[in-house]
Amino acid sequence: MNEVEPDDASNEHARRSAIFRAAHKRLDPIDGPRALGHKRSALQAQKRRQPVNWPVGLLKTNGPRDSLLVSTDGTISFAIRRGISGVFVEKRCCPITGPRSSHLMVFESQSNFDRWCDLEPTRFNEPLLCDKLRRRGHELFSIHD
């Protein structure tokens, strides 16, 4: 009869509990993110009030003629650059709470761009930002034409 040494037994137990834990973690569905406890939620909320460099945007603004225009509170930004088919604009919204979003669109003509600028709700809270965006767009359209 093979006797299990105490060391072997504890190793075996550790191995089995690790396997159980691994299997348990794998079964845990990814689409149900864990709700944080009260303290941890508060800490996370505090962290979120600080600016976070989180990549929600798609459009790169590395070129000399590209611009990234950011609102005073940093929650709204517009990336703008010239492309082959027109001027590409990406509106990024990263509010303190709620979903982060980015919308990428292209304007083939300056009149369409102006119409959109006239409707853009940011013009009420950030008139200077919208003005800058409009001027930058016009510059890019003049280069394009």
Partner 1 sequence: MTESPDRVQEVDTPTVSAEVLELLAGFSEADSPERALELLRRVLQMMGIESAVFLSAIKDDASRTSIRSLLACDPRWTVEYSQVDWYDHDPWLRHAMESQTPIRGTELQIRPSERAFIETASTIGFASSLVVPAPTSFGSARFGVLVLGSSDASYFDCNGSPLVSIAARALAMEIHEWLLRTVRDDLLEVSGLTPVEIDLLRHEAAGHTSKMIAAEANVKPPTVDGWFQRVNAKLNAPDRRTAMRIARLYGLI
Name the strand (E) or helix (H) holding 11: helix 6-27
Q: Does 39 bind partner 1 (CB under 8 A)?
A: no
Q: Is the dihedral of CA 25, 31, 35, 41 positive or negative?
A: positive
Q: Does 63 bind partner 1 (CB under 8 A)?
A: no
Which residues 125-144 are close enough to bind partner 1 by CB under 8 A? none
Q: Does 53 bind partner 1 (CB under 8 A)?
A: yes
CB count within 10 Å of CB 65 equals 12
Q: Which is nearer to partner 1, 2 or 62 (CB)?
A: 62
Whole-angstrom distance, CA of residue 36 vs CA of residue 117: 40
Q: Which is nearer to partner 1, 4 or 95 (CB)?
A: 95
Whole-angstrom distance, CA of residue 114 vs CA of residue 111: 5
Least Å distance, CB 52 to partner 1, is 6
User: How many residues bind partner 1, per CB under 8 A?
Assistant: 52
**Can you name the residues that pair with 67 across neighbouring β-strands?**
80
Edge-to-edge strand ranges of the sheet holding 76-82: 67-70, 76-82, 87-93
State the residues that interact with partner 1 by CB under 8 A.
14, 18, 21-26, 29-31, 33-36, 40-41, 43-44, 47, 52-56, 58-60, 81, 83-85, 88, 90-91, 93, 97-107, 112, 116, 119-121
